[in-house]
Amino acid sequence: MEVGMSTNVAHIIDRKGGEVVTIGPAATLAKAAALLAEHNIGAVVVSRDGTTVDGILSERDIVRQFASTDGVGTGSVSVSTAMTTGVHTATPAATIDELVQIMTTGRFRHVPIVDGGALVGIVSIGDVVKSRMDELQTEAESLQEYVTGTSY
């Protein structure tokens, strides 16, 4: 990558892949928690068909649901009861700066990526931080090479 060339969402999806873990709205929170644990992730996209975004359910929603009933019956509550609707999404053409803006303003750490109405990926705050670190590393190496003539 050239110095100064800004990474966009498509670059991140290319690197990490477009697999998105989804769950149906009628599934239980027990099933959702098992999915989060199995995939070592913090949120699942809620979708009836695996393509359309109907909602998002993060570990925070499960904690909130647990807190509201002291944990009684939390596992059998439906995903649709605890999920957030009105999901903020972005397209593959969005820049990383735009994603950071969306996450900071909305105070969430996950943004599903949608292209032509279909789910094509998800970017977490961890992906954004990794992308920034990679960019900085590339820039540092290019500058080092420019100053010293040493190539990596």
Phi, psi of 46 (to 5 degrees): -90, 125
Q: Is 61 in the site for ligand AMP (CB under 6 A)?
A: yes
Q: How far is the CB of 33 from ligand AMP (least distance, A)?
A: 13
Residue closer to ligand AMP, measured from CB, 52 or 84? 84
Shortest distance, position 75 Cβ to ligand AMP, whole Å: 18
| Residue from 56, 62, 79, 99 in contact with ligand AMP (CB under 6 A) | 56
Checking DSSP bridges between strand 55-58 and strand 43-46, what pairing results, if any?
antiparallel
* Total of residues contacting ligand AMP (CB under 6 A): 14
In the DSSP assignment, the letter for residue 28 is B
Contact 75, 30 (CB under 8 A): yes
- Cβ-closest residue to ligand AMP? 58
- Nearer to ligand AMP among residue 18 and residue 140 (C-beta): 18
Q: Inter-axis angle of helices 96-106 and 9-16, to 10 degrees?
A: 90
Q: How many CB atoms lie within 10 A of CB 131?
A: 21
- Directed axis angle between helix 9-16 and helix 125-148, to 10°? 100
| Positions in 82-141 near ligand AMP (CB under 6 A) | 84, 87-88, 106, 108-111
Residue of 10, 25, 33, 42 interacting with ligand AMP (CB under 6 A): 42
Beta-strand relationship, 43-46 and 22-23: parallel
Contacts to ligand AMP by CB under 6 A: 42-43, 56, 58, 60-61, 84, 87-88, 106, 108-111
